[in-house]
Structure 1
């Protein structure tokens, strides 16, 4: 690790409303100004290249049952400034080294009337700003309850935003594009059905929020290091264009229970006049603590297949039998139950997937629906729903383990909690020990439905602490975690790199629930993926779901080449080839890209980007030196023109290009593609036509 840190401090007293503190980014493009208003309200303001981005915005927290909240009445007690510059090595990631370079201002505030202390710490990077609240040990602020965090983000105009409805329970929405002033009028139509959802305001939206100003500036609002705190949404005052933080409440309506000393998550503001800089930013990771796992040798990227898509589409079922209207673990007799004939997680069928994985070089196979309890798992608010260790009669745990081991394939465990967090914690040690016994080193966990304890939300402080508990407990057992329906990522994978994936957004499964917007995947890199990798489960080749299930009339709104490109554009160290083996067998030449593409990277280059329209990314595989390019397109047909100047000069390469056919279209002709090869160099340029909802993928190998 290369490491350099230079720190200096200045300590002085400033009376409220008299002096402002200024902080500049290392490259000088950003200027942040902190000041305290005449009534003692702390505020900040942010500019980028002399353009105001965040107008003067208030800071503070409103406390519950307290005569004096942490909103005003402050004076500056002292300030500290620092500069920090290091380069650290991630266990896995979009590059082999990450630079963490910022200038810092920590302002210690004293609330005169109560003699309470609050520190606001700002870190200004070359890509934007991070700031948080800190509460040191003190006599007059020990245990306190947050009624609401009142952090503001005052916009400079009626920006265009890519947004999803603010919701305490789900992020599984298509994105909407509108002016900020139009959110209220479009909100109801933006809310689509989900297994669990709770909106709070007609102008409430979620982070990461991506915006673009009329002047062409890109602005992204998010948070980092969400630990022991409620998830932040944003509520818009659409008369004054001011966003204010809106925390997820617990079952009693409280927004957070804190004990000093403590600190909040970071609030982040990324800004650039080039959309590619948003994709390249590592602010979210850099604002998290360094790796807490000493031995990471057991953590590794995974490319997998599994018995999932056939169940999502309705071709197969999770449940073993139709005999019982309800199930009680330990009491229901599955040995004498009649199999329903559609249960996918049976020994013979799973072995077919293991064979497919072994033949084509995949690391692992995920099996869902193998354990008893799926007959009535959802919608009944069951506390004791699964035990995570008891298989159905048609699933031979030992036999599968031995067979997979003989083929050199790992098995991935599935733990669906049905939202019952107490039940999962009740069984978690036994479940992880079971995984260790049978060689499962990764688990996909799920939190579908309303949460238990009843009244809690998916993103409340209490439930966020559960997710963290499960993650840290998994690390004790050397288990990697891929959590679905959990809170959106905020860079915690830096500290706990066994968090190799999350869902936390509208993934491929919604293509089987009616379809997603064709430009959805051009937005996710600017929103959901700002916080960490997503288990999007790409690789669908059969777009007509009726061919799998005659009762399902959904259509996958993507071309095959768009699906291939996702392995590059939607970064994850955990990538699934989600479709059925028989569909890959029909298009084996296109499937070759999925077999070849890497899942861990030495370098990433963001070639083209416009949120909602297109994203093109080139990545260099770790160790092999091979390059892979992916480009995804929105609704409008376009011609992509890219330079290959990221290649090493003086060398020749063979590029295999997977492109949309001339008549390809995500709706009418999604399986039309062409493959060609050509010799390229660092001064080569490519010109590729891209279909609506289409894309292209390129593998580039040095010519021998």
Structure 2
């Protein structure tokens, strides 16, 4: 419920420098709002007696007028408090408490037009959210935002876990450094080179005295993503909005508001991961009925292309035109992965092992000429290659009780995809597909727009809405990083939007620390389709000539643990069937582990070092546990006191074997069983780059 706390009228608030203070519900955090002598709105945040943010300016620059950054007066302050509990359609916990105190400050420009902006603050015990709002008013209708003055001024030179502020890609390995040392200039850009001191959110920070701070945003709608410019001398961060093709940031019409800027704060790392602040700042589900949304595990014709066993394209032809090419007449090169017989092999494997779906990439014409040419029409999303029989595979999968997942790669040509999307979704529904993986590899069309700009943000959101209307689930790759919108559109199961497991197949790979950082950064905004479960970790055996020296930088046991530590309701068993057939005992964990949860406990965590999480399966007494480490070997001592009293469990422990390591002996693992209860303490040895996975299944009632 929401109830007012106070309202202060304009006569009391026109005084320069007047400060307004707000405490979180349990008084863990304190917010102070004020105006500078120049009429600049400012705020600061403290955790107990420890500063989180020093006085930091607020404001929005608007094209063709004075903007909303200085010369402002306060005309009204309202304060309320709110406390309720809601249930997500799927997620890491069964229910979420939404408890905050709110401050709404109405500010007014000088002059006769008296344009107003409101700053709405919501202060939780685990952090702060705030946004700018423009109410309906006679002298502000259409306006163009050129930037923000929003600052996050830190009190010291914190340790930071960051990637470059690239407008077109999040697919970087993380750098750990002090804020004063942020410099992305030596890092090879993937798409759009970043300014050296610009970083992306979510940005994870740790102070010298053990305060953890995470800066991101929530509910990114009709606005560009926020990056952060770092001042290495003052340790201040300033919002940098991704520009549009015109150079402006956002085109708005009042009434309107920005996304929430979020600051999650705790004095321990597990509390950062347990925070639901970003979800709480998103709107409730907009879908009237959600029974058709099904968290699931899947396999797919995918990894075999990354390890050069097959290809996406059907032929070696080039310079093809979508509308004019006779695809039936093309000469096949003989190693096209998405052929009917091969897809049936994956369907059989999924059916045998109780996996719900099969993803197929490379099924549709156009892959001969899909990347790097900034080409408008590459795919039509309905025409299959001659060796992929859509109707036959539909019938075959249905007979086996398996669903097929559609793949829509746009090659960055989003205008083409939007023109063809209705027909593509009609095609999906006609052939039994109820989930789709979209992709946005390459430079965006309309030319000049960025992956993370307002135009593309609106596309991603429209696509999620459009697919919800057709009862289609969606997994987006190469998209803007998520901001909790899966609460509003729960058919939006996952995103990639970071450097995934695939990078191990065709680059220098992901360092062993990578998976210990991602939960504190990318996953703060929502689930990631990381594609875990690689068992054949040294990749030369798939193709010795093209995969020389390449390997996944984890142990096999760590790949199992990722199903617990890297949360997603859509989890892929990413390796080839034959890799799993060589290790059926280890594959059992992938078959067993849940993808939807009633409870989550963050047992141990430190960004860049280690992570241990336990989760209770939805509607079940079963628990699953994952523990991972960076390149350092560790022994994690794990208390099972989260188990119910009076109940014994069989623990099946999948652990690194003696002598295992990510680089020398990655596939060495051991499996042991023991009876446990809530008084048991497990000792889990983690090899360098390693991990452990544990299934906990209740024994007979006691």
Question: What TM-score do you get using the length of structure 2 for normalisation?
Answer: 0.98
Q: Deviation string for 1:654-674 (max 9, x for gaps)?
A: 100001112010000000111
Q: Deviation string for 1:600-619 (max 9, x for gaps)?
A: 00000000000000010000
Q: Distance in 2 between matches of 1:260 and 1:285?
A: 25
Instruction: Give 2:427's match in structure 1, choosing from 415, 421, 434.
Output: 434
Q: Distance in 2 between matches of 1:638 and 1:423?
A: 50
Q: Distance in 2 between matches of 1:675 and 1:332?
A: 54
Instruction: Give 1:542's match in structure 2, choosing from 536, 539, 550.
Output: 536
Instruction: Give 1:71's match in structure 2, choosing from 65, 69, 74.
Output: 69
Structure 2 residue 653 is matched with structure 1 residue 657: yes
Query: 1:188 aligns to what?
Result: 185
Aligned pairs (5 A) from 1:535-684: 535-550=529-544, 551-553=546-548, 554-684=550-680
Q: Deviation string for 1:161-192 (max 9, x for gaps)?
A: 000011100000000000011113xx223x23
Q: Is the 1:150–1:244 contact (alpha carbons within 8 Å) kept by the matching residues of 2? A: yes
Query: 1:93 aligns to what?
Result: 91
Q: Is the 2:180–2:231 contact (alpha carbons within 8 Å) kept by the matching residues of 1? A: no
Query: 2:59 aligns to what?
Result: 60
Structure 2 residue 46 is matched with structure 1 residue 47: yes
Q: Distance in 1 between matches of 2:607 and 2:384?
A: 45
Aligned pairs (5 A) from 1:114-513: 114-184=113-183, 187-189=184-186, 191-194=187-190, 196-199=191-194, 201-322=195-316, 324-513=317-506
Give the deviation of 1:380 after TM superposition: 1.1
SS in structure 1 opposite 2:182?
A: helix
List 4+ stretches of structure 1 deviating above 3 A.
Answer: none
Give the deviation of 1:65 after TM superposition: 3.0
Q: Distance in 2 between matches of 1:55 and 1:18?
A: 16
Q: Distance in 2 between matches of 1:42 and 1:110?
A: 11
Q: Distance in 2 between matches of 1:623 and 1:495?
A: 23
Q: Deviation string for 1:471-501 (max 9, x for gaps)?
A: 1110111000100001100000000000001
Q: Is the 1:16–1:39 contact (alpha carbons within 8 Å) kept by the matching residues of 2? A: no
Q: Is the 1:618–1:630 contact (alpha carbons within 8 Å) kept by the matching residues of 2? A: yes
Give the deviation of 1:139 after TM superposition: 2.1
SS in structure 2 opposite 1:34?
A: strand
Q: Structure 2: where are the runs of 5+ without partners?
A: none
Q: Distance in 1 between matches of 2:40 and 2:249?
A: 21
SS in structure 2 opposite 1:335?
A: helix
Query: 2:108 aligns to what?
Result: 110
Q: Distance in 2 between matches of 1:242 and 1:316?
A: 49
Give the deviation of 1:112 after TM superposition: 2.0
Give the deviation of 1:193 after TM superposition: 4.7
Q: Deviation string for 1:233-279 (max 9, x for gaps)?
A: 00011111110000000111111111111000000001111100110
Question: What TM-score do you get using the length of structure 1 for normalisation?
Answer: 0.98
Give the deviation of 1:9 after TM superposition: 3.7
Q: Deviation string for 1:303-322 (max 9, x for gaps)?
A: 00000001122221000111
Instruction: Give 2:522's match in structure 1, choosing from 522, 528, 547.
Output: 528
Q: Is the 2:626–2:691 contact (alpha carbons within 8 Å) kept by the matching residues of 1? A: yes
Q: Is the 1:16–1:38 contact (alpha carbons within 8 Å) kept by the matching residues of 2? A: no
SS in structure 1 opposite 2:39?
A: coil
Give the deviation of 1:331 after TM superposition: 1.5
Q: Structure 1: where are the runs of 5+ without partners?
A: none
Give the deviation of 1:381 after TM superposition: 1.1
